[in-house]
Amino acid sequence: MWGGRFAAGPSAIMREINASIPFDKALWREDIAGSRAHAAMLAAQGILSAEDAAAIDAGLAEIAAEYEADGVPEDWNLEDIHMTTESRLTALIGPAAGRLHTARSRNDQVATDFRLWVRAACERAEAGLAALQRALVTRAGEHAGSIMPGFTHLQTAQPVTLGHHLMAYYEMLRRDRSRFADARARMDECPLGSAALAGTGFPIDREATARALGFARPTANSLDSVSDRDFALDYLQAAAQCALHLSRLAEELILWASQPFGFIRLPDTLSTGSSIMPQKKNPDAAELVRGHAGRIVGALTSLMVTMKGLPLAYSKDMQDDKPPVFEAAGLLDLSLAAMAGMIAESGFRTERMRAAAEAGFATATDLADWLVREADIPFREAHHITGEAVKLAENRGVALDALPLEDLKAIDERIDERVFAALSVEASVAARASYGGTAPLRVGEQVEAARRALGMD
């Protein structure tokens, strides 16, 4: 491959450190697609004869069928997927295979292959997110009025509905989808034809190859084209943020499935048992999703550090761009599928949720709001009065709405019997009817809007 420049071949150590075929063989579909588009363009421009172009295209089609059936062979002497394919093409069609590399370099070739692969990864992520959103929206619709405790600091704060809680994750994933869509839009430019770094003297048609590969346009600067890995970082940044959201949801499912909470029964199909304790049903799928978030964030960090000090244009360090992206994409696709399954198939124990909401003085804020609204008491004073009522209820081991009226009036004489209408958990959630609030009416509206956005109606 290196021609006459070197008197001796590479050492065994150089072959091992230099070879990327063990991982970049994942790009074989993109590499063959790029080569077929490039050969067709060369023929259309009169750079390649029609006969050679036809032979090259037929040979590449045959190689694609071989790879599909048997996988990509790994010969470390051939270094990468590009030379592996070119070597096989030469074996099939002879010297005409050598004309395929006219007006291109492995630098623009790999940049194109990798960009095509990452573009498809963005599309897979968006599809996986949409599936999880549909599961969340379906369950939120079922539980628009199911009451549970809302938490701050993992302490009972105010009653909310389970539907409202699930729709919070729908909103997070909606933003995640927008990040992948934005990343895909930015990477919709084709580097092919930039050659090694300076472009080429051949009269190529970069618009044609860009169209053939489904890109909106060719890249504008050849130096940037071969050295840019922003598109991979964009994907990883979106993946890392998405993984953080999935990890938060997984953590809640893990907590809710524990016996002290008892809010949820996870599906058997996404749980495991213990080798020694027969009673155990472990939320391993959720725990692995939580763990995968760390690996995906690590993949982002890895590529950022690799790219941080590289001068223009291509450097061999950039060969290490693909493993973290491939790993992150595999983990993210699997995590999205696992979470969609858990949300769709879990059983929510709404009676336990409601009991927990009633037990944690979750309507304390409703008492303070009632004092402000009905007794015209400044909120800070109402807050203090409510705190005394909570202390009394806690000492007696009862809920706020179980305190006798005379005891409440002893705390503040402005409290009257109307207060009890505000102290039930139903009244509390119904009162939160501001836009975006937890009132079942508002949750139902948000569910319907989400169903329309997802094309579920």
Distance CA 121, CA 238 (A): 11
Cis omega before residue 313 (within 30°)? Answer: yes
State phi, psi for 149 to the nearest 5 degrees: -75, 135
Catalytic residue among 274, 292, 302, 346: 274
Task: Spell out a b/e string for 152-179, using b for 16 or more CB atoms within 10 Å of the CB, else e.
Answer: eeeebbbbbbbbbbbbbbbebbeebbeb
Spatial neighbors of 97 by CB under 8 A, at least 6 apart, are 56, 59, 86, 89, 90
Farthest CA pair distance, the chain: 101
H helix or E strand, kind and range, residue 149:
strand 147-152
Distance CA 200, CA 196 (A): 9
Q: Which long-range contacts (CB under 8 A, 24 or more apart) does 173-176 make?
A: 173/129, 173/132, 173/133, 173/136, 173/242, 173/245, 174/133, 174/453, 176/125, 176/129, 176/238, 176/241, 176/242, 176/245
Catalytic residue among 153, 315, 383, 384: 153
CB-based contact 234:187 (threshold 8 Å): yes
Is-catalytic flag, 153? yes
- Residue 218, strand partner residues: 190
Distance CA 179, CA 457 (A): 25
Smallest CA-to-CA distance from 454 within 248, 186, 177 is with 177
Burial class for 412, CB neighbours closer than 10 Å (0-12, 13-18, 19+): middle
Is-catalytic flag, 274? yes
Please identify every residue annotated as catalytic.
Answer: 153, 274
